[in-house]
Amino acid sequence: MTSRIEAPGPRLGTEPAPLESHQLFNARHAEAYWQQATRCIDLVRRKVAEVERPFTGARPEELRGRFEAIDLDAPLGELRPALEELEHVYLDDAVYFHHPRYVAHLNCPVVLPGVLAEAILAPINSSLDTWDQSAGGTFIEQSLIDWTAERIGLGEDADGVFTSGGTQSNLMALMIARDHHGAHQDRPGGNKQQGLPADHQRLRILGSELGHFSLQKSAAILGLGYQAVMPVATDADYRMDPQALKARLEECIALDLIPIAVVATAGTTDFGSIDPLEEIAALCREHGIWLHVDAAYGGGLLCSRRERHRLAGIEHADSVTVDYHKTFFQPVSCSAFLVRRGSDLRHVTHHADYLNPECQALAGTPDQVNKSLQTTKRFDALKLWMTLRIMGADALGEMLERVMDLAGEAHARLSARPDIEVLLEPPLSTLVFRYRPEDIDLDDASLDALNAHVRTALSRHGEAVIAATRVQGRRYLKFTLLNPETRVDDLTAIVERIVAHGRAWCDGAATSPAHAAAS
């Protein structure tokens, strides 16, 4: 019989040889961490100080070539060349949200306490799924959930959990609404044990026609399909029309459909419009339907003493989505999902003996995984915690008020121009408009092409980054204002460039009929 010879291991009482190439974060590498982190911070400091434009205008085909020569199986071995490469492939052409002429999507500039929190949470690397992986981090997250629930007015039984963003929060809301309905049917164990009921194709989710696309995505993930989402018409201010909602509910009854949830929006992506929450809540109570409020955008109003009233009625919700990485000025990701009754979170709970055994829950161990779709959970709550402890909620509210004031002033100025068509006085901080030259008669298709060209030209020249959308099939431009340091002069300058690019396009279209089609 041949004996197996094993390589000798370390002798008892001796330490293994250091694996310097691995650069594990630990006490042995604490000094290296300090030195290298300082170099990374200095690079960011330098790049931010140098930024003159929100974006260079680089196109995908222009950046793609830089990556083709990079062999990920050939490490550079040192920080210096790695940072030089990163500067070339990323930072030189990054989109900088802090720039005052970035006014495109719901991306906010971030406050320093949130950035500093990242420097703490990343190296410690707590996972907030179980108490034995996070300890005090668990209570920081829970404290912020309780703080948010109190600001909303959900009551003493409220609970929630931090999430990756509004899409995950909305998915949780619709999953719980679905299973809340299923728990009241004569099916032991409900959907969790039995799967979808035979009549699941009758289940319906009602939401504003301007609601977030995550409603459709969630319906598909939940096995209900896009067809389960019934759009509800909006009024002249792009808010869900309560009479249209009432008609939809009556339609469900007439067609033997089962409405399981109404999703109201507190801050639509395009207009920032806030649905009439009080009236919608009354209809939901009347019909016994789950009310979810998607306040991913408008949730920051919870910090505003002056504007909090715009969320009147949110306290009646069964569940709420809040994105702190929008109007609380936090780094991505930092969001939360909250419910009026903490017991409803049982629909996402599953106990595993190796992680969160039921006996721990019965003993009172606060394992956040019991309330979450995620298992591994990043300690994103620390960012908001540091912000509240250093700046306070009032400071965040005042920052949001400043961008709302900016939107109001910009609306007044744009509305006074005969060549700009503005659709709505902003309820929050979004302006939807289009350039329409007053001295040229353009049909709808040409106006669409003109405004598409204008947006592309602004970005390509690095002058500004703005958004676009369609309203009743027609193309519009959009300013999404989330930077308290953006000024009216910045917006005026952008509009002047819009007009300049628009006039150039019109001149080209006049001399070349194919020009409009090509744009």
| Cis peptide, bond prior to residue 333, ω within 30 of zero | yes
Domain containing 403 — which CATH number? Answer: 3.90.1150.170
Residue-wise pLDDT tens digits, 166-181: 999 999 999 999 999 9
Query: Is 305 found in the same domain as 426?
Result: no
Q: Is residue 11 part of a domain?
A: no
- Whether 285 maps to a domain, the answer reads yes
Query: What pLDDT, on a 0 to 100 scale, did the predictor assign at position 87?
Result: 97
State which of 351, 374, 391 marks the end of a domain.
391
Domain identity same for 293 and 351: yes
In this structure, the answer to whether residues 365 and 460 fall within a common structural domain is no
Domain check: are 133 and 240 in the same one?
yes
The residue length of the chain stands at 519
Instruction: Judge if 321 and 423 occupy the same domain.
Output: no
How far is 208 from 1, CA to CA, in rounded Å?
76
Is 134 within a domain?
yes
Sheet order of strands, 229-232 included: 159-163, 335-339, 319-323, 290-295, 258-265, 203-208, 229-232
Predicted confidence at residue 184, as pLDDT, reads: 83
CA distance 432 to 467: 9
Tokens of 176: 């719980």
206 and 329 within one domain: yes
Q: Which residue has the tokens 């299973």?
A: 179
Same domain, 369 and 263: yes
Q: How many CB atoms lie within 10 A of CB 257?
A: 18
pLDDT at 246 over 60: yes
Cα–Cα distance, 303 to 13 (Å, whole number)? 56
Instruction: Identify the CA nearest to 171 among candidates 224, 134, 101.
Output: 224
133 domain residue, yes or no: yes
Decide if 455 contacts 468 (C-beta within 8 A): yes
Our count of domains for the chain comes to 2
Enclosing domain of residue 313: 127-391
* In a domain? residue 108: no
The residue from 341, 375, 391 where one domain ends is: 391
* 386 plus 403 within the same structural domain: no
DSSP string, 121-175: HHHH--BTTSHHHHTHHHHHHHHHHHHHHHHHT--TT-EEEEESSHHHHHHHHHH
Query: Of the residues 391, 422, 455, which one is the last residue of a structural domain?
Result: 391
Check whether residue 202 and residue 304 sit in a common domain: yes
Residue 516 corresponds to which tokens in the numbers above?
A: 């409009």
> How far apart, in whole angstroms, are the C-alpha atoms of residue 47 and residue 86?
12
230 contacts 265 by C-beta, under 8 angstroms: no
End-to-end CA distance of the chain: 80
Q: Sorting pLDDT into bands at 50, 70 and 90, what band is 20?
A: low
CATH at 165: 3.40.640.10
List helix spans (H) across 438-487: 444-460
Percentage of the chain beyond pLDDT 70 is 94
> Chain-centre distance of CA 253, in angstroms?
34
User: pLDDT tens digit string along 320-377?
Assistant: 999 999 999 999 999 999 999 999 999 999 999 999 999 999 999 999 999 999 999 9
> Based on the domain organization, do 305 and 402 belong to the same domain?
no
- Mark whether 192 and 209 lie in a shared domain: yes
Indicate whether 242 and 380 sit together in one domain.
Answer: yes
| Residue pointed to by tokens 């779709």 | 373
Whether residue 96 lies inside any domain: the answer is: no
What pTM does this model have? 0.93
| pLDDT tens digits along 446-468 | 999 999 999 999 999 999 999 99
| Spatial separation of the C-alpha atoms in residues 114 and 417, rounded to whole Å | 39
In three-state secondary structure terms, 221 is helix
| Contacts of residue 114, Cβ cutoff 8 Å, sequence gap at least 6 | 329, 330, 331, 334, 383, 384, 386, 387
How far is Cα 130 from Cα 132, in angstroms, rounded to an integer?
6
Tens digit of each residue's pLDDT (9 = 90 or more) over 80-100: 999 999 999 999 999 999 999
Report if residue 22 sits inside a domain.
Answer: no
**Maximum Cα interatomic distance, the chain, rounded to a whole number of Å:** 98
Domain contains 436: yes
